[in-house]
Amino acid sequence: MVARNRLPPWHEEIRLGNGRDVLIRPIRPDDAPVLRASFELLQPDDVRAHLLEGADAMGVDQSRRLAHPDTRSEFTLVVSEQLPPGEAMILGLARAAMVTGSRDAAFSIVVGRNVTGMGLARHLLRRLARWARGKRLQALHGDIPEDNGPLLELALSMGFGQVEGADPGFVRIRLPLAEATPAAEIDAGA
């Protein structure tokens, strides 16, 4: 019998449309310096700035904070090369955090310019929704730059709806988690 090469929970190897193999996995503390170095390559720029709360660049404290999520209320995945944490270039980041005083989680997704348009946003949104459902949350919401039509169309095709509450220049989208969303291949029991 041949032993299978099993990956830890929330780890997944996928092949992108360009033939590149990547690893999707939870962020680790060793990723902080690499995240800081590669953050400039991630887009959309508006979301990057929104994630950094208006800062121009990621500082040491911010990268350390992102690389040490509070697992009780936050979940952060990275898309990386298939190298050890701290060595692998980060090609994308998806983060969800519970909103204080509600049963919602807010999310942000940024991907590298070199892997844009290869299905990573859809894949990462599915993973964030799965995490939020596992936490028994009611909804997942995020702010998308209003000029990012492709991402907005993707979210709407996955069952997200537009709601009020976005910052200027953004559109807020929300996915109710109690309902099945077959278009997103996310079911209520997942």
Domains belonging to the chain, first-starting first, are 12-184 (3.40.630.30)
Give the pLDDT score at 97: 96
Give the pLDDT score at 63: 83
pTM score: 0.84
pLDDT less than 50: residues of the chain: 1-4, 188-190
Give the pLDDT score at 159: 93
Count Cα atoms within 13 angstroms, Cβ side, for 185: 7
Give the C-alpha separation, 131 to 64, whole Å: 22
Q: What are phi and psi of 154, to 5 degrees?
A: -60, -50
Extended strands (E) in the chain: 12-15, 21-26, 42-43, 74-80, 90-98, 104-112, 139-145, 161-163, 170-176
Give the pLDDT score at 52: 57
Give the pLDDT score at 1: 38
User: Of 140, 174, 132, which is closest to residue 156 (Cα–Cα)?
Assistant: 174
